[in-house]
Chain A
Amino acid sequence: MADLSCTIAGIKSINPFWLASAPPTDKYINVVRAFEAGWGGVVWKTLAMDPPVINVSSRYGVHKDGNQGILGINNIELISDRPLETNLEEIRRVRKEWPDRVIIGSMMAVIEEQVWKDLAIKIAASGVHGLELNLGCPHGMCERGMGSAIGQVPEMVEQVTRWVKDVVDIPVFVKLTPNITNILWSAEAAQKGGGDAVALINTVNSIVSVDLDQMAPTPTVDGKGTHGGYCGSAVKPIALNMVAEIARNPDTANLPISAIGGIETWRDAAEFLALGAHALQVCTAAMLYGFRIVDDMIAGLSGWMDEKGYKTIDEFRGSAIPNTVDWNALNMNFDTKAHIDQDSCIECGRCHIACEDTAHQAIRFDSDETGARTFTVIDDECVGCNLCSMICPVPDCIEMRPVETKEPYLTWPDHPLNPMKAAE
């Protein structure tokens, strides 16, 4: 069986699956249950200086597909609402009882040097393996000058990272918000401040739905709603891109990444690792299915690694980075065409109408007197957009087949029709 152990910013973990700072890591009982279930580590729910915050009732909203499946949830819950010392005492107990598991202390404060330093020292003294600076929370706390209010200003990201690094000698993770224009600015700032790793993404600012009877966003608190933090599988594509941007950027390529964002299965995990993540954090999947969800994350990842012949995570970690390129580096001479397997086609016509109405009128529809329907790709019209193969309900019925070509690899900058090239 493949070795799933990993190391991030010098911290060793039995597996890459940690629970992110959130309700599942709120207190002793949750964390112990998580470790019993097999999670490699936890990032304790964010701590701040006392007095603790007070939360509202009605905290989560949901975005579902048409079949009761949850695509994403958002939340308007704040950080830990228990006294700092209660949390620290529980951290000390768990550290003692579970010596082989990682505990990271998440923290936030207003932009005041002494507060950051005092809090960092207190939390570090509880025996945590590292600290995570929560610079990403996009709701509630930012209105008090914390969370994303700091994370959205690269100079402040650098500043608080430096303050904390000045007073602790354990690794410091900087948790980034996706609610910015360019993730590299925040990542570079974290690096400049001395951060040992970045953790991303925090939740995406969102309104998941509007209650049309109350005429208010959900979750609704006494007739009013506010924007919350969106998470779950719907945000995975956003997270993958931001992780890849940092991993393939020469200036931040060596910055360890703790990847977060919609990881629900072992395959999601493998994708983040392939894009360069050193370790992973999960929250929504655990909230939706319970801690047991880690079983198949572990079994699935190690099974896939065995199949591929990877003995350790490092053997494939980052393997997709060289293939993640700018658009300008794509081969303009590559051509792929849809091919419909007539034997497995069930004649639903979805490919035809999608192509006819919204794409390239490249799928012909014929029917005979018996009512039999045939859908055929018109190669000359097909641009290889993949739309038909994506919507086809039958697995492997529509295959995208690369066209064999003797044309050389040709990028847009080198393309003869590029006016910028002609101007050279």
Chain B
Amino acid sequence: MCSFKLLRIGISLLKKRLILDAEDEGGGEKMVQNKSGKKAPSTCGMDDNFSDLHEPLSELQAKAEAARCLYCFDAPCITACPTSIDIPTFIHQIRSGNPTGSARTILSENIMGGTCARACPTEILCEQACVLNASDEQPVEIGSLQRHAVDHLMAQGGSHPFEREKSSGKHIAIIGAGPAGLACAHRAAMLGHGVTVFEAKSKPGGLNEYGLAAYKMVDDFAQKEADFIQAIGGIEIRYHQKLGDNLSLNELRDTFDAVYLAIGLGNTNALGLEGEDMDGVMDAVDFIEALRQAKDKSSVSVGQDVIVIGAGNTAIDAAIQSKRLGAETVTLVYRRGETDMSATDFEIALARTNDVHIRLWSSPKAIKGEGEVSAMAFDRMVFEDGKLTPTGQSYELRADMVLKAIGQKLDMAALESFEVKAGKLVVDESFQTSISGVFAGGDAIKSGEDLTVQAVEDGKQAAHAMDMFLNTGGR
């Protein structure tokens, strides 16, 4: 069996060196082999290729890791967490042999603590803030410990850890069953309100179900978590309900006491090149969604030579998964330099250990092919006088698949009456949009980074804001 545990150790060992290598190389095209000496992932069985990126900690590992936490006062990791989980306390509870209490501590601030433990870029959040970084030690593996505690609680089954307050008699409509929507639904239900969630797709979870890389969300975790959240009671989810299609905002406003828009970013940005409609050219998010929904991953078709355009975590996820599906070459192309990439250092290193070529300073110039894509041309770029400028040189890369990951944007259908700024819905400090009684959160608004953890925080805060709104008379 191809062991990703070994791969992971290799990654952590190589992480610093990889980054240094990349800086040394400038172009960052150097290939780094897995130090463990194991076969490259793409030669393993397909199931292994999409198995857990980070294996869960054993109880012994969790206790040893928990013992490394210094139990800081007014801990910087809490401040760094968008949901303000009391991290030193939950780690102390693992250490004291109280993993259920630990999970309650986590979930009381972040009901999606399980997904966040798997998908959060902890290296730029809590773990970056860990004071051990200032010593000669690695930061505490907060994400892995959080997963340990939450998985323990969810595996126990039993009753839901939170109780609902007395019914308020109020009813909230939530549009979108993604992280913001479900987090809002849970908190609103907890506060005693009735909740109906309208979801466009056939399953809850949003990007947790359709967008995160398969190896981060194994064993159908997004669905298990959605079930766990609904177990508080008072939440009804209606599927195949799309705003502007079979769902009318005005009707919802008339029927419900408040409305929460957790619609995410439904559209994608285009390259603006001719030939974007050719066969083989597609949005990375659609590719990932197809992969996530496929029971048999090998049924998902992938090109022999894949180009991924973009520099964020979606681009990285698409590139790595293309490689693991069996693509011969995968090249991630970005028009600027590595330090400008929005993907985290960890994700970039992960791409390189998965044999993804990263080509920098290259701007898409043309898509070539007849009916189906056969190559792409790129302009070489340089940063000059404060501007990104073509050098005049260009090159071509062979490709039978092009995945676009250059950002998502708000689907404006049915949102014409809202105030929008810089591509996001405008909300006030209580998450209320320009329309009274209509609140919004998640990727559709500008709150923090477009991350699951931020969406959960948005949902939680909006639930409290709507609670206040309803308690003070509503509209």
Contact = CB atoms under 8 A, between A and B. Distances in A.
A350 B71 contact: yes
B231 interface: no
Contacts of A350: 70-73
A66 interface: yes
Give the interface residue-count category, chain B: 10 to 19
Contact of A348 (B60, B64, B95, B131): B131
A181 interface: no
Contacts, number: 43
B76 interface: yes
Interface string A351-385: 01100000000000100000101000000000000
A373 B76 contact: yes
Contacts of A100: none
B63 A349 contact: no
B138 to A, nearest CB: 13
Interface of B: 60, 63-64, 67, 70-76, 79, 95-96, 129, 131-132, 134-135
29 contacts: A66-B63, A66-B96, A67-B64, A67-B67, A68-B60, A68-B63, A68-B64, A346-B131, A346-B132, A347-B72, A347-B76, A347-B131, A348-B70, A348-B72, A348-B75, A349-B72, A349-B73, A349-B75, A350-B70, A350-B71, A350-B72, A350-B73, A353-B73, A365-B73, A371-B79, A371-B129, A393-B70, A393-B135, A394-B135
Interface in A208-249: none
Contacts of A365: 73-74
Contacts of A394: 135
A335 B70 CA distance: 29
Give the interface residue-count category, chain A: 10 to 19
Interface of A is mostly: loop
Contacts of A348: 70, 72-73, 75, 131
A346 B134 contact: yes
Contacts of A66: 63, 67, 95-96
A347 B76 CA distance: 9
A349 B72 CA distance: 6
B67 A349 contact: no
Contact of A67 (B63, B74, B75, B134): B63
Contacts of B95: 66
Nearest to A65: B67
Contacts of B135: 346, 393-394
Nearest to B133: A346
Nearest to B74: A349
Contacts of A347: 72, 76, 131, 134
A126 B63 CA distance: 51
Nearest to A357: B73
Interface in A382-397: 393-394
A242 B454 CA distance: 60
Given A66-B95, A68-B64, A394-B135, A371 B76 contact: yes
Contacts of A67: 63-64, 67
A68 B129 CA distance: 27
A92 B438 CA distance: 94
Contacts of B129: 371
Kindly name the residue among B60, B64, B134 whose own CB sees the greatest number of chain A CB atoms within 10 A.
B134
A352 B95 CA distance: 23
B263 to A, nearest CB: 33
A68 B135 CA distance: 23
Contacts of B71: 350
A347 B129 CA distance: 11
Task: Report the 10 A-B pairs with minimum CB-CB distance, sorted nearest first.
Answer: A349-B73, A353-B73, A67-B67, A346-B134, A348-B72, A346-B131, A348-B70, A348-B131, A346-B135, A66-B95
Nearest to A397: B135
Contacts of B75: 348-349
A68 B67 CA distance: 10
Nearest to B70: A348
Contacts of A349: 72-75
Kindly name the residue among B73, B74, B95, B134 whose own CB sees the greatest number of chain A CB atoms within 10 A.
B73
A195 to B, nearest CB: 45
Nearest to B64: A67
Nearest to A356: B73
A350 to B, nearest CB: 6
Given A365-B73, A371-B79, A394-B135, 18 more contacts: A66-B67, A66-B96, A67-B63, A67-B67, A68-B63, A347-B72, A347-B134, A348-B72, A348-B73, A348-B131, A349-B72, A349-B74, A349-B75, A350-B70, A350-B71, A350-B73, A353-B73, A393-B135
Nearest to A349: B73
A348 B95 CA distance: 18
Contacts of A393: 70, 135
Contacts of A371: 76, 79, 129
Kindly name the residue among B67, B95, B135 whose own CB sees the greatest number of chain A CB atoms within 10 A.
B135
Given A346-B135, A347-B134, A352 B64 contact: no
Kindly name the residue among B76, B95, B132 whose own CB sees the greatest number of chain A CB atoms within 10 A.
B76
A348 B71 CA distance: 8
A349 B70 CA distance: 9
Nearest to A345: B134
A239 to B, nearest CB: 27
A346 B135 CA distance: 7
Nearest to A375: B73
B338 to A, nearest CB: 25
Contacts of A353: 73
Interface string A301-345: 000000000000000000000000000000000000000000000
B24 to A, nearest CB: 30
Contacts of B132: 346
A390 to B, nearest CB: 14
A82 to B, nearest CB: 38
A371 B70 CA distance: 18
A228 B442 CA distance: 60
Nearest to A372: B76
Nearest to A347: B131
Kindly name the residue among A66, A348, A394 whose own CB sees the greatest number of chain B CB atoms within 10 A.
A348
Interface string A51-93: 0000000000000001110000000000000000000000000
Nearest to A67: B67
Interface in A95-129: none
Contacts of B76: 347, 371, 373
A363 B132 CA distance: 21
A198 to B, nearest CB: 39
A122 B353 CA distance: 74
Contacts of B60: 68
A9 B112 CA distance: 70
A352 B73 contact: yes
Nearest to B67: A67
Contacts of B73: 348-350, 352-353, 365
B72 to A, nearest CB: 4
Nearest to A393: B70
